[in-house]
Amino acid sequence: MDKVKKIGVIADDFTGASDAASFLSKSGALVIMCSEIPKHLDEPCDAIVVALKSRSVLPKEAVRQTKKAVDFLRQAGCEQFYFKYCSTFDSTPKGNIGVVLDFLLDYLGENHCVLCPSLPVNGRIVQDGMLYVNGKKLSESPMKDHPLNPMWDSFIPNLMKPQSNHECCLFHTKEGDEHAVKSLMDNHQEKYYIVPDYIDDEDGKKIAALFGEDNLLSGGSGLLQFLYKGDSHQKTENTEKSNKRAILLCGSCSQATKGQIDCYKASGGKVYAVNAEDLLSKKTSAEAVFDWVIQQESPVLIYSDAVYKDMQQLRCRSSFESSSKALEKFMAALSTYAVAADFDRIIVAGGETSGAVTKALGFDSYYIGTSIDPGVPILRPLQKQELTLILKSGNFGSTEFFEKAVLTV
């Protein structure tokens, strides 16, 4: 049997990293996720996932972070690398998906890389180079109104063109075979990208069979469940029932999260809506809100009231960026108060919010447990394994996600 390569995943945000880690874990791999690059990592594992905060930064900074992650992963023994980005291809016209991948091709000495944003279980598929979200073209889906990275096109080669120096080639997976792959490679002397059709798990398995030995791959989390070929090494979950408390922190303004908030309200869950402008004016503080939370007998969902507002109008405000930062700081402070008060479950919605929370808590490495919903695993900090963290991308999770997460032991 061929030697199983240790997999190193570089994710462009925190919830993307936990999403990636959950699908690797599903395949039987023992996975450690790092929210920051540790100085050293001695724990045994089959795969390491590094969470960066590179999705919306300047391209030069995204490349700097990525290089640092690759150097760490190489030092930790990883031989195969996967650049994980959102299944809705979140990026600005100038980057950073294409910019980072161009860098990785050069730095790792590779001449091609597959682009596989698909995640069929969550309604993201690619056909003939076109990315669809729940049956709609990407640029016609709610992603067209994303507050940070509104998506302007659905054809992956068009999305890549302004941010990459290399050609994209379409690949018809169901008809494709090893001869088709060889022909593709023989016809390209320069660096290039391969955009395979990926509409179901059978496509994912075939892509992994044809390209799974490549040293560099990229995409959403879907393909990762088919890449690991080793034995199962997962840790056993602690199933003792929790007698402590949960808090839910929601910074996402996605349509999916809005539906989850509505569902939590309808089920009788306690909620608290926060206005970012009130945070800037000091009218609302994390300390005061937590004093109220701790008096409640059931878990409280704290969310941004921007989820019910017109995001296009909010983006036009001069205070938009400062309001976003204030909200992240507010949610992060609440998480530290919760841990200090012996809460044992912290549930967070939104990639930027999740990154802010984990940074505030000071944890940098996690074992990956079972998933609440596809792409949303339980995280156990190596430094505090009795704490449960559940961090989800704004677009992920079933309508009942918050209710399920609250009941998790």
Residue 238: φ, ψ to 5°: -75, 120
Model confidence at 390: pLDDT above 60: yes
| pLDDT tier for residue 145 given thresholds of 50, 70 and 90 | low
Confidence of residue 190 (pLDDT cuts 50, 70, 90): very high
Detail the DSSP E strand segments found in 102-166.
112-116, 124-127, 130-133, 136-137
Q: pLDDT band at residue 352, thresholds of 50, 70 and 90?
A: confident
Out of 106-120, 180-194, 351-365, the most confident range is 106-120
In this predicted structure, the answer to whether residue 201 has a pLDDT above a threshold of 60 is yes
Higher pLDDT, 312 or 375: 375
Which residue from 168, 160, 158, 217 is spatially nearest to 190, judged by alpha carbons? Answer: 168
Q: Which range (149-158, 320-329, 385-394) has the least confidence?
A: 149-158
Instruction: State the DSSP string of 202-234.
Output: HHHHHHHHHHTT-SEEEESSGGGGGT--S---P
Check if the beta carbon of residue 301 is closer than 8 Å to that of residue 260: no
Query: Cα–chain-centroid distance for residue 370?
Result: 16
Written as six digits, the tokens of 54 are 């590179």
Name the percent of the chain lying above pLDDT 90.
64
Residue 393 pLDDT grade (very low, low, confident, very high; cuts 50, 70, 90): confident
Estimate the share of the chain in helix, then strand, then coil, as percent rounded to the nearest 5. Answer: 40, 25, 40
Helices 351-361, 320-340: axis angle to 10 degrees equals: 40
Q: How far apart are CA 230 and CA 239, in angstroms?
A: 26
What class has domain 246-407?
alpha beta
Structure tokens that stand for 22 in this block: 């959950």
| pLDDT confidence band for 1 (50 / 70 / 90) | very low
More confident residue, 94 or 166: 166
Domain boundaries, the chain: 7-226, 246-407
Q: In CATH terms, are 7-226 and 246-407 the same topology?
A: no
Contacts of 86 (CB under 8 A, 6+ apart): 12, 13, 16, 55, 117, 220, 393, 395
What tens digit of pLDDT does each residue of 236-292 get? 555 454 557 999 999 988 889 999 999 999 999 999 999 988 898 899 999 999 999
| Phi, psi (degrees; rounded to nearest 5) at 135 | 85, -5
How many Å from the N-terminal Cα to the C-terminal Cα in the chain? Answer: 39
Average pLDDT, stretch 389-408?
91
Classify domain 7-226 at the CATH class level: alpha beta
Average pLDDT, the chain: 89
Res 239: pLDDT? 46
Q: Following CA atoms 61, 62, 64, 69 in sequence, which dihedral angle do they give, to the nearest 10 degrees? A: 150
pLDDT tens per residue, range 76-134: 999 999 999 988 887 667 779 999 999 999 999 999 999 999 999 989 999 999 999 99
Q: Angle, nearest 10°, between helix axes 178-186 and 201-211?
A: 60
Lowest mean pLDDT among 36-45, 69-78, 163-172, 205-214: 36-45
* Structure tokens given for 41: 């990592």
33: β partners: 49, 366
Backbone dihedral angles phi then psi of residue 34, each to the nearest 5 degrees: -115, 125
CB-CB contact of 82 with 7 (8 Å): yes
In which residue are the tokens 């930027």 written?
352
How many Å apart are CA 22 and CA 372, to the nearest integer? 10
Q: Which residues pair with 81 in a beta bridge?
A: 8, 216
In single-letter form, the type of residue at position 326 comes to A
pLDDT at 283: 93
Residue 323 contacts residue 277 (beta carbons within 8 Å): yes
Structure confidence at residue 355 as a pLDDT band (50, 70, 90): confident
Q: Which amino acid is at 242?
A: S
pTM, entire model: 0.79
Which residue in this structure is represented by tokens 């073209």? Answer: 137
Least confident of 49-63, 97-111, 308-322: 308-322
Higher local confidence (pLDDT), 81 or 188: 81
CA distance 14 to 157: 26
- 41 pLDDT above the threshold of 90: no
